[in-house]
Amino acid sequence: MSPRRATSGGRIDRLRTIRFTFDGKAFTGHAGDTLASALLANGVTLFGRSFKYHRPRGVLTAGVDEPNALVTVLRGDVREPNVPSTAVEIYDGLVAESQNRFPSLKWDVSAVNQLAGKLISAGFYYKTFMGPAIGPFKGTRFWMLCEHFIRRAAGLGRAGRAADPSRYERMNAFCDVLVVGSGPAGLMAAAAAADKGARVIVAELDARLGGSANWSGETIDGMPAAEWAAGLAEGLKTHPNIRVLPRTTVWGFYDGNMLAALERVTDHKERPAKGEPRHRHWVIRTKKVVLATGAMERPLIFPGNDRPGVMLASAARRYANEFGVLAGSKVALFTNNDNAYHAAVALQKAGAGIAAIIDVRANISDAMRNLASDAGAQIHTGHAVVATEGRTAVTSIKVQRFEATNGGLSGEARTIQADCLLMSGGWSPAIHLASQAGAKARWDNELQAFLPPEPTQSWIGAGAFNGSFSTTEAIAEGHAAGLAAAGAKAAANDDLPVADAVAGDPAPAPVFEIRANGKSFVDFQHDVTSEDVRLAHREGFVSVEHLKRYTTLGMATDQGKTSNIPGLAIMAAALGKPIPEVGTTRFRPPFAPVSIGSLAAERYGDIRPERLTPMHDWHVKNGASFYAAGLWHRPMIYGHAGETIEQAYVREAKATRETAGIVDVSTLGKIAVQGPDAAEFLDRVYTNMFSTLAIGKARYGFMLREDGIAMDDGTTWRLGKNDFLMTTTTANAGKVMQHLEYFLDIIWPDLKVTLTSVTDQWAGAAIGGPKARDILASCVKGTPVDNAALPFMGIVHGKIADVPVMICRLSFSGEMAFEVYSGADYGTHVWQALIDAGKPFGLVPYGLEALGTMRIEKGHVTGAEIDGRTTARDLHLDWMLSSKKPFIGSAMMDRNGLTSSDRLQLVGLLSLDNRPFNGGAHVVEELDEQNPHGSIGHITAACYSPALGRYIALALVKGGKARHGSRAFVSDPLRKRFGPVQIVSHHFYDPEGSRMHG
Amino acid sequence: MAERLSPLEPVLRPGSRGQFENGVGVVLSEIAPGSIIQLAAWPGQEKAIIAAIKKVTGLALPDGAGGGVANGQKAAFGFAPAKFIVVDEAESISEALTKAVSPEVGTVTDLSHGRTAIRISGAKAAWVLAKFFAIDFSLVAFPVGAGRSTVHHDIFAQIQRSAPDQFDVYVFRSFARSFWHALCRASEEVGYEVR
Amino acid sequence: MLITCPYCGPRDVSEFTYQGDGNRERPAPASQNLDAWNEYVYDRLNPAGDHNEVWQHSGGCRSHLRVVRNTLTHEISSVVFARGHVPHRSPSRRGAKA
Amino acid sequence: MAEYSALALIKNALNGNKDWKPAWRKPEPKASYDVIVIGGGGHGLSTAYYLAKEHGINNVAVLEKGYLGSGNVGRNTTAVRSNYLLPANTRFYEHSMKLWEGLSHDLNYNVMFSQRGCLNLAHTPAQLDDFARRGNAMRHLGVDAELMTPAEISRLIPAMDVSPDARFPIYGGLMQPRAGTARHDAVAWGYARAADRRGVDIVENCEVTGFIREGDRIVGVTTTRGDIRARKVALAVAGSTGRVMQLAGIERMPIESHVLQAFVTESLKPFIDTVVTFGMGHFYMSQSDKGGLIYGGDLDGYNSYAQRGNLPIVEEVMAEMLALFPSLGMARVLRSWGGVCDMTMDGSPIITTGPLPGMYLNCGWCYGGFKATPASGWCFAHTIAKDEPHELNAAFTLERFRHGAIIDDKGQGATPRLH
């Protein structure tokens, strides 16, 4: 039998034994145990080491508020660090490790930090480590040296490098009422709302519904509260209107009554079922929320309050009643309120001996005296604990007479033998979600607690969340909240369950700290002591935010759930102000730490979808390697065995210029612009005229932003009187669509135009080169493709391989070229037909590299030049700016900042040292490799030009055209490429366009 | 004419997968209709468009945002103000619709190749779709026949509920394969069959 | 945050694109008044409180909407189509006959 | 002996830490000052400090509506870098970098400036070229920058997925070795203490409710703690610029206020030793000395003064984080918070005299405010003291928009949420 397992009781399954290891040692527990309860049952007291002083620490709580007992859970190589052992359900084969200790939990060398105590008090690092002002350690060096060691000493658990193999999912949910918490208040609320027809979701962060009913030891409707709750929970699970989510933490209250919750679907299992996510990220949009999140007990602040074996009274009660585990065999309790008396009874019933109850209050009620006597406990009223003894577990405590009104200690310190000290410093309602929703909490002096604010969003509170700490109140408030959330009202004669419990006074004595010699911890995990809080006060860090930031109080993984109020109270005492005047911090999401995987959800491993062209599989089969172009995959080259990228694109470009090449242009943005006002609309959005374009013809168009800067370009085809097909660059397709929609909806709503994205409707293949027309002629049926039928910028309709196609003669490569469009589902069919037809002519498929090469040779601009800073004039496209009409950007494009002579303008560069250029290299007038300076511009795109037989580039250079013919230097210190260049026109190749006009 | 090639062709493999041992939660298939046509009405011309749809397809669209109708071979639904999608097994209803809609009434845009239609049916269809789309799939909020326009990150979708447990999802063709993979993966938990 | 699109109903903010200050007035297309253009292109009202904004339901029906939203609380008090379209009735509960 | 030093620590430790002085006084505001700086954030405090230190103007009050440093200086992701594309920005941020390098000594306050480098990842060859353009632009202005190969990146950040099979494989990156991080709160406190020691009055919980005018001229402010007059009134209230300018009757500005979220994980042992940014989205991350991974992404994307974020950006940021670091799925986000940014029409700041007589304006910091803190205060102090800008901030005017002399590092135009 485990040393601390009670012989009976608890809601664990004693017939099922579960095996696990902690720090390599094998243990057993029972189904229903948490790691903390199972280890406690095995007599383990030492769970971890604190952050700064590496002090030994045990378990403080039984839930999500745990600051001390953090572990790393391992599944193979995969590590989950910093998990509170109080929230880990054990399963067969669980492997857990303690953290922040070296070489072992028991013997941790960094515990030496404790000796430095006062030297490393709050904020000490701001006052030192600056290092010398001169010498080799000047500047930031000395600090960075110190930082190296500080970083290694700090941190808690270690994250692994192995990819997380888990699956995560998001779930979008809608309901009428979301009930957060399933204690008596939550259960009642859910049942009441669902019975009125509301769609209800109940979220409970523990595995078991019932909340405090599972451990209160009270009686409801004549049965043990836990059984009553289990019965009610069973009813909810089968209720058609209710979805019950156990193991689900509602962690975020966002705008519009949208709440985020984390469901731990498989963490408690040895392995997930097929397809089952580890975590499910619920996003719940609800009309009403019932907040029944309960309250959390606070510790008391006194010297030695962090020693393993010092625990919250409610946690010990929970371990006893819910898990059948004794926090100690000889238990002392220290309290400022009535709650500890119930805990004493629970522990005594479970088999522990109660050594004493130390109560700071001078007077307590008869009811409490009776409870103490039931528990066999000696009461020390008007006393306080001033020290604890023991190394890795409490062995005894010291108590002294205490005056609650002024905090004075008197008399001799007495020693009481105990192996466990339970403390209760009052309760703080869990108002986090209400605070996140947007309002400020209010202080209740009676309860010594912050209570929920007036709702700013649509929620209703119930039970301990409201500061209504009795089960009777929880039942009534839960019922009323459920009805109200469903739009109904509670009636006086509603038949409510009756709770039977010894009534206690919910109000604690306003005592937070016992000031005696020794370190008294406020924030256990971050090792913030009460002296640290007072130091912050002395140095003027008195607002609550300064207190937090200066001392790191409340910034640990438990987010100050146990430390915020005591810290505030100590500061208030130092300032001589009431607590609410020091303030409370606003709670922000998440309520408790949330796995990053769950938030990435289905996008973990699938960050963005892939966009594939209709011919994608053909490209793959034919040896293409790909680039990402936005979400698209586009062929870069179709490399042959042994070819470098440069060799491949040079071959492809050369073949295109000599015979013919074909490239997939399906990714170009395509927008159907339809309607009686389509031509007028295009006149307004393009810098040039489209109303004059004949049906069956295409025109190159250029667009500016409102501020006169170049936005995008492309050809637009007039397919009918009211029917245009606009093409955009691949990168700007979405942006241009939104731009056009904005103008149509907001600025020109009177225009009758429909805009539709038809990018995916059409497969596009551009075939160009001296043989392109012959190839087309050999495979196109139903239309001639000669100069007369299909002049430059003409459009014809015909068939290829029995498939209807639309062919436009236009050219990006500078060759005679044609874009062949077909329905996307026929894309591969048409492409293959063109490839087959081209075979006798020497047609080659080419990728983006060759496309880029040919466009550089022609001096065509793309995104590298239309970079959001250049104007039409900078790119020598001023001929596109119609003076006959206003268009978007026309009013702003002539501002002097956009027309000044020192702007960067498009030029061509020839390499004079026969070495390649790199995109992003700069251009200078005087070369200085050691100390590069005097940039006059930069290279936007570079290639080896097979047509010119040399390395060339496009560049944006100050002065632009004026420099044609002059020499300069490429200066690329990042890649150590320097050398002479000649600045030339950007039209490197066939400037008259005779090849494409042919 | 040549066979149309679906973007799902290499990845759509019939059979049951995932946790299907206790029955499949959803059935996934591609509908591959002959025509997917978008119609848009100028202000005040909605009724005329609805009438044209009725004339060409026989489908009587109900009034109201997102209203729609589906009968197995044909379907139509509103997806935006004064905009509708008409779906037909037959390939070339676009011409008939173009004839029926004059430029004074509105526009007709053929999207038959531009959208891929994926059908998800079964008891867990709404559960699986809710993993992707932040819309309320309950029958009350999303009645049979109705259409919705929504998005899963980069993937824009129009969804019609064609039966109480059946949804037809229209996605951009270029995204269809990615979406199909995601849909299959999301269905593993409930067990799925591809038909 | 949820925005209730007059056509699509309440939807997540992630379905919408913000198009900014809805109080801006575009000068006449041919206007050469650079002050007016400057104000239209670059200047914004930026109130702490209710703000008239333009949003596009880009992940839905793609309509542009005029939204009144409080920049301190994110509460939305009004949403209408930007395009002067007659607001649609919500879908009938009966739905279409299948 | 300097007030703060290792020796002072020991001395005070022996004395029970009883003798430490307040980091700054809590004075009552006087009736008038030479200069009032509105805004007790990083920029306001550094402005006051440099007014005193560089220009001998000590009769200065900094007015803060809440607690000192309650704005963006305490809400950012602590990155410091000068890796800008356009010369006006690069020169300004490099000046800031130089001030950072001596700041802990200058202030006698350890701001923990850690020059651990900032790496921008490139995921396509075109993006790498684009970064090379920027890196070379920096090098031509004497700023450090290097390109890194995927293999080098993998050695620097072993936990990162650099495999060629990644959805967006890493082609390389642009590294600025001198970039890094600093302890954000310490910057505010360090400037506050140093300004205080030079006689500057730092007045917390003092909200400006209006401006006192003589004719057109601003001659003081009304506050929740009474009227205060001054020869010069300087605004450094980024995040609230719209609100404060409204008090001066100026309704329209080339600024939108947007909320930007940031996140921190639970403390972890050292995981990453540099600042890294993802190139196929908007994600940046570093690790604090305490061990938390500090990271963020894009703006929420709409006007807000609420310091409260929404869920879609949270999800987006986490998805991008795991695309780079697939082992962090099991790590947990501990806290999130939101800061309100002044987003300008070109993504660059405004430091200028005016726009009203007697007024000086420092705003529009977009994402870049924290790293700018020293240079912003330094230039603003110059502008206030001399009534004309320093050449480092001469381009950051309000009029630049009208003239088209925009400084648009991202090339996004007048759409503030995209900068």
Cβ <8 Å between C29 and A886: yes
Rg of chain C over CA atoms, in angstroms?
Answer: 16
- HEC string of A331-371 equals EEEEECCCHHHHHHHHHHHHCCEEEEEEECCCCCCHHHHHH
Q: Which of D215, D253, D211, D205 is nearest to D233 (CA)?
A: D211
Domains of chain B, CATH where assigned: 15-32+114-194 (3.30.1360.120), 35-110 (3.30.70.1520)
pLDDT (tens digit per residue) in A129-147: 888 878 877 889 999 999 9
- What is the CATH classification number for the domain harbouring D298? 3.30.9.10
Cβ <8 Å between C83 and B148: no
Instruction: Quote the number of domains for chain D.
Output: 2
pLDDT mean over D159-182: 95
For residue D357, cis peptide bond before it (omega within 30 degrees of 0): no
pLDDT mean over A817-822: 98
Secondary structure of residue A111 in the 3-state scheme: helix
Spell out a b/e string for A55-82, using b for 16 or more CB atoms within 10 Å of the CB, else e. bbbbbbbbbbbbbbbbbbbbbeebbbbb
Least CB-CB distance to A745: which of C17, C29, C63?
C63
Query: Sorting pLDDT into bands at 50, 70 and 90, what band is A3?
Result: confident
Same domain assignment for residues D243 and D97: yes
Which residues, at least 6 apart from A788, have a Cβ–Cβ distance to it below 8 Å?
Answer: none
pTM over 0.90: yes
CA distance D416 to chain C (A): 9
Common-topology check for domains A169-295+429-500 and A308-425 = yes
Say how far residue D20 (Cα) sits from the centre of its chain. 29
Give all chains having 3 or more CB-to-CB distances under 8 Å with chain C: A, B, D
Least CB-CB distance to C46: which of D255, D306, D415?
D255
Determine contact: C68 vs chain D, CB below 8 A: no
Class of domain A894-997: mainly beta
pLDDT mean over D120-144: 97
pLDDT mean over B94-99: 95
Report chain A residues touching chain C, CB-CB < 8 A: 254-258, 283, 285, 438, 456, 684, 706-707, 738, 741-742, 745-747, 749, 886-887, 890-892, 895
Please provide the CATH number assigned to the domain covering A169-295+429-500: 3.50.50.60
* Residue C70: exposure state from Cβ atoms within 10 A (0-12, 13-18, ≥19): middle
Secondary structure of residue D287 in the 3-state scheme: strand
Same domain assignment for residues D227 and D262: no
Class of domain A13-110: alpha beta
Q: C92 pLDDT exceeds 70? A: no
Virtual torsion, Cα D362, D363, D366, D368, nearest 10 deg: 20
Question: What pLDDT, on the 0 to 100 scale, is given for residue A439?
Answer: 81
CA separation for the pair B170, B160 (Å, rounded): 8
Which H helix or E strand runs over A787? none
Final residue belonging to a domain, choices D299, D316, D344 = D344
Same domain assignment for residues D300 and D189: no
Residue A373 per-residue DSSP state: H
ipTM here: 0.96
Task: Tell me which residue has tokens 């997968």.
Answer: B17
Looking at per-residue pLDDT, the higher value among D114 and A104 belongs to D114
Per CATH, the homologous superfamily of domain A669-757 is: Aminomethyltransferase beta-barrel domains (3.30.70.1400)
Rg of chain A over CA atoms, in angstroms?
Answer: 38
Residue of B nearest to A175 (CA): B136
Are the beta carbons of A201 and A173 closer than 8 angstroms? yes
Same domain assignment for residues D97 and D238: yes
CA angle centred on D306, ends D305 and D308, rounded to 5°: 135
Determine contact: B44 vs chain A, CB below 8 A: no
Q: C98 pLDDT exceeds 60? A: no
Question: What pLDDT, on the 0 to 100 scale, is given for residue C96?
Answer: 33
Question: What pLDDT, on the 0 to 100 scale, is given for residue C95?
Answer: 33
Task: Tell me which residue has tokens 């607002």.
Answer: A543
Q: A46 pLDDT exceeds 80? A: yes
Q: A117 pLDDT exceeds 80? A: no
Same domain assignment for residues D100 and D90: yes
Name the β-bridge partners of A19: A28
Q: Tokens in use for A108?
A: 């941790």
Class of domain A308-425: alpha beta
Q: A596 pLDDT exceeds 90? A: yes
CA separation for the pair D279, A608 (Å, rounded): 13
Q: A584 pLDDT exceeds 90? A: no
Secondary structure of residue A843 in the 3-state scheme: coil
CA separation for the pair A274, A272 (Å, rounded): 6
Task: Tell me which residue has tokens 């963490």.
Answer: A267
Query: Sorting pLDDT into bands at 50, 70 and 90, what band is D271?
Result: very high
CA separation for the pair A766, A808 (Å, rounded): 9
Domain hosting D235: range is 28-82+85-108+184-255+346-418
Q: A104 pLDDT exceeds 90? A: no
Cβ <8 Å between B65 and C88: yes
Task: Give the strand order in the sheet containing A78-84.
Answer: A25-31, A13-22, A94-97, A70-75, A78-84
pLDDT mean over A962-981: 97
Are the beta carbons of A310 and A396 closer than 8 angstroms? no
Same domain assignment for residues D250 and D261: no
Least CB-CB distance to C48: which of D243, D310, D417?
D243
Query: Sorting pLDDT into bands at 50, 70 and 90, what band is A2?
Result: low
pLDDT (tens digit per residue) in D216-246: 999 999 999 999 999 999 999 999 999 999 9
Compute CA distances A6 → A90, A154, A327, D367, whole Å.
19, 38, 10, 58
Secondary structure of residue A138 in the 3-state scheme: coil
Q: A215 pLDDT exceeds 80? A: yes
CA separation for the pair A140, D112 (Å, rounded): 8
Task: Tell me which residue has tokens 């502008």.
Answer: D383
Query: Sorting pLDDT into bands at 50, 70 and 90, what band is D47?
Result: very high
Secondary structure of residue A184 in the 3-state scheme: helix
Spell out a b/e string for D190-226, using b for 16 or more CB atoms within 10 Å of the CB, else e. bbbbbbbbbebbbbbbbebeebbeeeeebbbbebebe
CA separation for the pair A769, A767 (Å, rounded): 7
Which H helix or E strand runs over A691? none
Least CB-CB distance to A604: which of D69, D322, D412?
D322
Same domain assignment for residues D102 and D190: yes
Residue A140 per-residue DSSP state: T
Question: What pLDDT, on the 0 to 100 scale, is given for residue A112?
Answer: 82
Q: Tokens in use for D38?
A: 């509105």
Domains in chain A: boundaries: 13-110, 169-295+429-500, 308-425, 669-757, 894-997
Final residue belonging to a domain, choices D344, D371, D392 = D344
Is D403 domain-assigned? yes
What residues of A are in contact with residue B19 (Cβ under 8 Å)? 273-276
Are the beta carbons of A650 and A946 closer than 8 angstroms? yes
pLDDT (tens digit per residue) in A239-271: 999 999 999 999 999 999 999 999 999 999 999
Are the beta carbons of B94 and B112 closer than 8 angstroms? yes
Is D214 domain-assigned? yes
Residues 359-398 (D) with a CB less than 8 A from some CB of A: none
Are the beta carbons of A924 and A969 closer than 8 angstroms? yes
- HEC string of B76-143 equals EEEEECCEEEEEECCCCHHHHHHHHCCCCCEEEEECCCCEEEEEEECCCHHHHHCCCCCCCCCCCCCC
Backbone angles phi and psi of A933, in degrees to 5: -160, 170
CA separation for the pair A717, A670 (Å, rounded): 10
Question: What pLDDT, on the 0 to 100 scale, is given for residue A102?
Answer: 82
C-D Cβ pairs (cutoff 8 Å, strict)? 77
Same domain assignment for residues D170 and D291: yes
Mutate to test the interface with D, among A869, A893, A902 (most CBs of D within 10 A): A869
Question: What pLDDT, on the 0 to 100 scale, is given for residue C68?
Answer: 96
Q: A110 pLDDT exceeds 90? A: no
Question: What pLDDT, on the 0 to 100 scale, is given for residue A113?
Answer: 82
Is D237 domain-assigned? yes
Contacts 24+ apart (CB under 8 A), A779-782: A779/A833, A779/A834, A779/A836, A779/A837, A780/A805, A780/A807
Determine contact: C72 vs chain A, CB below 8 A: no
Q: Which of A246, A170, A966 is nearest to A598 (CA)?
A: A170
Determine contact: C53 vs chain D, CB below 8 A: yes
Which amino acid is residue A237, in one-letter code? K
Query: Sorting pLDDT into bands at 50, 70 and 90, what band is A510?
Result: very high
Cβ <8 Å between C96 and B145: yes
Question: What pLDDT, on the 0 to 100 scale, is given for residue A502?
Answer: 84
Are the beta carbons of A108 and A98 closer than 8 angstroms? no
Final residue belonging to a domain, choices D344, D361, D394 = D344
- HEC string of A215-263 equals CCCCEECCEEHHHHHHHHHHHHHHCCCEEEECCEEEEEEECCCEEEEEE
What residues of D are in contact with residue C1 (Cβ under 8 Å)? 310
CA distance A787 to chain D (A): 37
Secondary structure of residue D32 in the 3-state scheme: strand
What residues of B are in contact with residue A676 (Cβ under 8 Å)? 103-104
Domains of chain C, CATH where assigned: 2-26+36-81 (3.30.2270.10)
- What is the CATH classification number for the domain harbouring D95? 3.50.50.60
Same domain assignment for residues D94 and D239: yes
Question: What pLDDT, on the 0 to 100 scale, is given for residue C90?
Answer: 33
Q: Tokens in use for A676?
A: 């009686």
Are the beta carbons of B30 and B118 closer than 8 angstroms? yes
Which amino acid is residue D283, in one-letter code? F
Same domain assignment for residues D396 and D264: no
CA end-to-end distance (rounded Å), chain C: 34
